[in-house]
Amino acid sequence: MAIDDWLLDQLVAGVGSPVLRLYTWARPTLSLGFHQRCVEPSWRVLQEQGRIALVRRPSGGRAVLHGGCLTYALLWPDAPRPAALAYGLATDWLRKAMEDLGQPLRFGEAAVNLQASSCFASSTAADLVDVAQGAKRVGSAQLWRQGQLLQHGSLQLAPCRQLWQEVFAADPPRLEPLPLSGAALVDHLRRSAERQLSPAGFDVLRLQSRELAAIAPRRQRFRLSPAEPASLG
């Protein structure tokens, strides 16, 4: 999260370039949207037990349980407006990539549900839903900063049913396994993104020690420690 936030600031400063990051999480982590103020008591219990980590995304939306998923972060300089148009364009590469894997997806049609704690409790036009099963496969959220866009998304692969039930008191989306996994899946997704978003390709990002040192202080912004109040204040 700190890296994504720093990359967005590079775009704002005019020294960045388009970036697509695809990453997984070292441990089960619940990320809350930036404006999501309510931290459920059960989440704190799971955090104290060491079952999950809690972080707050710089982007919006509702809570996402990371574990059994692949996260993407798209940094898009001077992205088109309105936000709905950018959502469609910034997500269509993923829809096409899944279609090529025999897993067609469509955009969701539900209204935003601000009462739900889970991002995957509803499927809006910013999300991608499995055509056959009707289950939400991809949830996405945005952050705009001076005309520059960070779009986050979570591609569900094999969510842990037990942990999902403990976090959200509901079952995870029921999804068919993909024919690719690991590095092969990442390569497939990256090629699809390059074809649709950046025909010249995305630069390979290798952060140097100076850049990592600049990013390090931001990490605390997005951690939710057990002692932190639930509200942003």
Query: Does residue 228 fall inside a structural domain?
Result: no
Query: Does residue 58 fall inside a structural domain?
Result: yes
Query: Does residue 202 fall inside a structural domain?
Result: yes
Task: From residue 36, give the alpha-carbon distance in Å to each of 152, 215, 231.
Answer: 15, 24, 8
Report the C-alpha gap between 74 and 4 in whole angstroms. 9
Query: Does residue 72 fall inside a structural domain?
Result: no
Positions annotated as catalytic residues are 119
| 164 Cβ neighbours under 8 A, 6+ residues apart | 65, 170, 171, 172
Q: What is the pLDDT along the chain (233 residues), one digit of tens a residue?
A: 999 999 999 999 999 888 999 999 999 999 999 989 889 999 999 999 999 999 999 999 999 999 999 999 999 998 988 988 998 888 999 999 999 999 999 999 877 666 679 999 989 888 999 998 899 999 999 999 999 999 999 999 999 999 999 999 999 999 999 999 999 999 999 999 998 887 777 766 788 999 999 999 999 999 887 655 544 33
| 10 Cβ neighbours under 8 A, 6+ residues apart | 16
Query: Does residue 229 fall inside a structural domain?
Result: no
Query: Does residue 31 fall inside a structural domain?
Result: yes
Where in the chain does DSSP place strands (E)? 19-23, 29-32, 53-56, 64-66, 69-76, 105-107, 128-130, 136-145, 148-156
pTM of the model: 0.91
Number of domains the chain is built from = 1
> For 63, which DSSP code?
B
Give the structural domain span for 99: 2-67+80-222
Token pair of 16, please?
Answer: 């960045």
Query: Does residue 13 fall inside a structural domain?
Result: yes
CATH of the domain at 126: 3.30.930.10
Query: Does residue 121 fall inside a structural domain?
Result: yes
Which contiguous run of DSSP H or E holds residue 85? helix 83-100
Report the C-alpha gap between 28 and 52 in whole angstroms. 5
